[in-house]
Amino acid sequence: MESRFLLANAKWLDVALTFKAEIAEANKTNLPGTSSGSRGRPKKLFPESSSKTKKRKVELLLNITPERLNFATEMTLRKGGRRDAARIVKEITESSPQRATKLKKAFHRPAKDLPKKLSSEEALALFVDTKLTKHQYTVIRKVSIKQNANIYPGYDQLLDAKKACYPKSIKISEISAEVNLQALLNHTVQRLIMSIEERLLNELTTDEKKNIKMIYKWGCDGASGQGHYKQKFTNQPQADDSFLFVISMVPLQMTCNGKVLWQNPKPSSTSYCRPIKLIFKKETAEMTKKEVAEIEQQISGLSCTELLHQNHRVMVSHQLVMTMVNGKVCNAVMGQSSQKCYICGATPTQMNNLKSHQTRTVNPLALTFGISNLHAWIRCFECLLHIAYRVNTKTWQIKKHDKEAVELRKKLIQDKFKEETGLLVDVPKPGSGTTNDGNTARRFFKNPEISSRITGINQELIKRFGVILEAISTGHKVNLDAFNKYTFATAEMYVKEYGWYYMPASVHKLLIHGGDIISSAILPIGQLSEEAQEARNKNCKGFRERHSRKFSRQETMEDLMHMLLITSDPLITSLRTHQQKKSSTLSPDVLSLLQTIPEASTEIELDTMDTDTEEDSPYELSTSGGS
């Protein structure tokens, strides 16, 4: 009976039962009170189904056209809020057939192949390399952003990188700009350590890090022919901006207990030529002597640079040698006449007396000035050229009755050089100087046969001069015994052939005192040349014209000093893209004057033939400015 059944089973009939909706839907046939449905394994939802099951379930959709399916997919994604996915579906299905392939490759492209944004220092190095202005840089950056290649940082970040290139203690006035030497050396060492490989410092012990030494060369030079600007001098009304006097220094080598940590790869380039002082004044002996004395006083008071590297103290000492000078500066410092030898005091009439030079007293201080390699090329070239003008008269001084004949022969030689080689010889240049520059001299000695035929000078003598000049310009160590014998034999040939023409002081210095100068040098003589200082004169003119504000004299001078500091900053220079040096095959005569060359190669890179992208070769500069 129903009443007895309910009474006997009241305990479990009163318990509440709950069923999940998903389970109830999937198992309708197993629920009480249902009669429809199929027996067997429960059905899975579509996302949980296998690929085969999914294909079976969408079999009815395969008969629909792709356009409808694509559009339906796009609309479904948009309805679900997935707009980016809907846009990609539309781009793939409605664009060209190759569009999907490109998107697939871009998706699987490695991270290293993606455009990488430049750091502020790398962007500044590019800025310096390509000589861009602010306007040019901003235009390039905007175009790159439009092309989805935003790899250039903003110009404000470039300004921060520029400010990091400026050392402390910079004094600016209307006619001068000066950096304290100690501050400049501290900043140079700091930026240099940032540019070299970390492992070089990590390999040093704690004590070795306190015994690092830096070697520099420094010097000064005057440059005329500067631009006259339409700006008034407020505090210096009588100042003249057509003459510029520059004092610079170049780091050459960083060592620790004889181990070379860093070597300047281009000692004759302006890439590392750092400005110490700029002043708009005409170069005179008195001013040169005064400025040199002030720098030497700062050098005598230098202290070691202390830096913190990976919780270790790094101490760097400094040694500066004054070799970036020409004959005019050397004579001013030594208080000698330009016609006398500042090393031994020989007069012009004593130059060709080779025996007397062996008994003359040599001033050790004068040997530290180096050979002035760039000017040696030009002076030797001009010496032979002047002999060629006088070869018929055979007189050192041109007398009145010989002047016309000398001028005619000079014109004949100039025309032959222009016709056969394209060289302009002894032609005055607008402003100051002549066309007798380093490139002309180098081409003259490179072709002794042609030069001898045009000038009438002994071909062997021209060849020997070229060998000597090339040997001192290679940047490698010179074999002193072989060099002394070769230069003295060249001097004897000169006196024998052209004893009537007194040897110029610069040629006398090369042939007679060259060996003594090389032996006293702390580095190979080719690394101590003055070419970087000479090339800076052209940079100063260009930077002042194109990269400085013209609102006032002081702002113009400030921008000029800043550009010189930026373009010579060791960290920025290390990031710049330099063209590879031109290699030159040395002749056996040149190799015989050198010590062992690395890898016994006869093809080495001549630093004097440097063609840096930032600056022109030093040999393209004339000797203006009282060289």
Ordered mean pLDDT values, 10 residues apiece, the chain (627 residues) = 87 76 51 53 77 78 76 84 83 76 72 76 92 91 87 93 93 94 95 81 82 94 85 82 93 91 91 94 92 95 87 89 93 89 92 88 92 93 95 89 91 94 88 83 94 95 95 91 95 94 94 94 93 90 89 92 95 82 76 73 42 35 36
Cα–Cα distance measured from residue 82 to residue 94, given in angstroms and rounded to the nearest whole number: 18
3-state secondary structure 445-484: HHCHHHHHHHHCCCHHHHHHHHHHHHHHHCCCCECHHHHH
Contact predicate 128/161, CB 8 Å: no
For residue 452, the tally of other CB atoms under 10 A from its CB is 18
Contact predicate 277/543, CB 8 Å: no
pLDDT value at residue 62: 72
Cα–Cα distance measured from residue 279 to residue 283, given in angstroms and rounded to the nearest whole number: 10
Cα–Cα distance measured from residue 277 to residue 249, given in angstroms and rounded to the nearest whole number: 10
Tally of CA atoms within 13 A in the half-sphere of 325 that contains its CB: 25
Cα–Cα distance measured from residue 332 to residue 142, given in angstroms and rounded to the nearest whole number: 54
Q: What is the pTM of this model?
A: 0.77
pLDDT value at residue 22: 52
321 SS3 class? strand
pLDDT value at residue 230: 82
Long-range contacts of 183-189 (CB under 8 A, 24+ apart): 184/249, 184/274, 184/276, 185/214, 185/216, 185/302, 185/305, 185/318, 186/305, 188/251, 188/274, 188/570, 189/214, 189/305, 189/307, 189/316
pLDDT value at residue 115: 74
**Which residues, in sequence order, are CB contacts of 321 under 8 Å at separation 6+?**
215, 216, 217, 218, 368, 370, 522, 528
Strands, DSSP E only, in 243-344? Answer: 244-256, 259-263, 274-279, 305-309, 312-324
pLDDT value at residue 613: 33
pLDDT value at residue 123: 94
pLDDT value at residue 527: 93
Name the residue among 39, 597, 565, 541 with its Cα closest to residue 241.
541
Name the residue among 190, 171, 227 with its Cα closest to residue 318.
190
pLDDT value at residue 9: 87
Cα–Cα distance measured from residue 315 to residue 333, given in angstroms and rounded to the nearest whole number: 32
pLDDT value at residue 78: 84
pLDDT value at residue 612: 35
- Report the DSSP beta bridge partners of residue 218: 249, 322
Contact predicate 436/624, CB 8 Å: no
Cα–Cα distance measured from residue 64 to residue 576, given in angstroms and rounded to the nearest whole number: 61
Strands, DSSP E only, in 310-420? Answer: 312-324
pLDDT value at residue 603: 43
Strands, DSSP E only, in 76-169? Answer: none
For residue 345, the tally of other CB atoms under 10 A from its CB is 16
Cα–Cα distance measured from residue 591 to residue 482, given in angstroms and rounded to the nearest whole number: 10
pLDDT value at residue 621: 36
pLDDT value at residue 55: 78
Cα–Cα distance measured from residue 230 to residue 553, given in angstroms and rounded to the nearest whole number: 10
